[in-house]
Structure 1
């Protein structure tokens, strides 16, 4: 069972993990990730690097992908590499994605969608995916949205809200932690991104500790934005279900189903 956790180094990362590595301004992503790349050979993993790893770096067999030259999405590219890994004799895939400096709002939405795709890919295939960000290069709202869709965190300071949304089985996403006013905007953005890809989104809330009115409003607004979409909220406690009803959201205009 995958569960959110904070890492002290990339040595603790394992198959199926999707890690957000937050770097300081002076950190060099290559130096900080050299052991992670080298361990690919030790564990018989195919190493895929997305970003500015110089092709002249020697000593480690790997595939280097330039984001500006990808044919299609990043997800399609890593899936192609995963499809050939077994035939090439590799155990699995490990991906180091060095994400470039901050982007405009439209690109931020695409980045969130890409991170959700990578989370789904890691969980469903057992690949190990590390996404490295230089924190000072990004605005706080974007970092918050990105952080909360990585179940695993490595860095000097957390910048994401106190919740995580991560893949839990083939048909579901788990919500862990606290969704309150501080994280409501990020939560709404994640739900919108999920609904844009599926008519029904199943959210498992068994480990959701607290869900306040702001979080519920963000959920209701998100599901209203897209027609013919539905959220199934499963495992919420009695307090969550009662609060949902008392807040006036338990009506046909808000297609959210509260399930045991």
Structure 2
């Protein structure tokens, strides 16, 4: 199921018809917009290509009824913690090929009722897990949010860990963190004082689950003092871990040292 996938890169999608293997897509809807109807193209393409559908969310918002719709599995996040939910999705991906499906499509309806008591860290970790899952398995993952249900800091974190978006690219934060395989996470865009809190939260989530975290920063356009401070603070949270910054430009590397962060207490290594 995961052979021949294209190299992952952040991009905006004009419609859900443009979703490809390994994509982790974020879609934001206004309160008046119907999640089920806006998911129709995603489900219809599953019918066309012979994909299996997994719905993450209670079945009070069922998938659109489409003739010949693929077999679907509904997973209720209220009854599964983050790790159990991810394990369940992985099991469906593993079985899809044996059952004769081309691939797995995950349709995640993220509503206010499913935000795990408002714990922002849990929500962010679940998105990081799904990001790795999409990249590793070649599954297509669509996460649908209605911004009115969420506070701005949570939405910032959600945006920046989805490399793919439907419609115009959200204005803030202006950076993306996404996996490109083998323990490598690519960072692209601009990290300034506006995006630094989300960047720090993402790093804390990643550092907590990797002995060595490698961030690929060739596509990082701007990295200001607030972003560097967020990086240093996240690295200091777990000093036994190592964060490797690969591809940061000479200005960033020089500024890091001049800011006093190039010390053993901050386990960050910067390489060209």
Same structural fold, with TM-score higher than 0.5 when normalized by the shorter chain: yes
Matched with 2:193 is 181
| CA distance in structure 2 between the aligned counterparts of 1:57 and 1:174, rounded to whole angstroms | 34
Q: How does 1:194-233 map to 2 (within 5 A)?
A: 194-233=206-245
The answer on 1:79 being equivalent to 2:90 is yes
Greater shift after overlay, 219-228 or 157-166?
Answer: 157-166
Query: Is this contact kept in 1: 2:116–2:122, CA < 8 A?
Result: no
Choose the corresponding residue for 1:67, options 74, 77, 83: 77
SS of the residue 1:121 aligns to: helix
Choose the corresponding residue for 1:11, options 8, 17, 31: 17
- 1:104, distance to aligned residue in structure 2 (A): 7.4
| CA distance in structure 1 between the aligned counterparts of 2:268 and 2:197, rounded to whole angstroms | 18
Q: Specify whether residues 221 and 239 from structure 1 end up closer, same or farther in structure 2 by C-alpha distance, changes over 3 A only.
A: same
| CA distance in structure 2 between the aligned counterparts of 1:34 and 1:106, rounded to whole angstroms | 28
Q: How does 1:17-166 map to 2 (within 5 A)?
A: 17-54=23-60, 58=65, 59=67, 60-61=69-70, 62-70=72-80, 73-101=84-112, 103=115, 107-155=119-167, 158=170, 160-166=172-178
Greater shift after overlay, 4-13 or 103-112?
Answer: 103-112
Greater shift after overlay, 104-113 or 83-92?
Answer: 104-113
Greater shift after overlay, 137-146 or 31-40?
Answer: 31-40
| CA distance in structure 1 between the aligned counterparts of 2:111 and 2:234, rounded to whole angstroms | 28
| CA distance in structure 2 between the aligned counterparts of 1:156 and 1:27, rounded to whole angstroms | 17
Query: Is this contact kept in 1: 2:43–2:64, CA < 8 A?
Result: no
- The superposition leaves residues 172-201 of structure 1 with CA deviations (integer Å, 9 ceiling, x where unpaired) of 000000111010000000000001111110
What number of residue pairs does the alignment pair up?
Answer: 260
CA RMSD, aligned part only?
1.8
- 1:237, distance to aligned residue in structure 2 (A): 0.8
Greater shift after overlay, 97-106 or 245-254?
Answer: 97-106
| CA distance in structure 2 between the aligned counterparts of 1:23 and 1:48, rounded to whole angstroms | 20
Q: Specify whether residues 52 and 32 from structure 1 end up closer, same or farther in structure 2 by C-alpha distance, changes over 3 A only.
A: farther
| CA distance in structure 1 between the aligned counterparts of 2:254 and 2:244, rounded to whole angstroms | 16
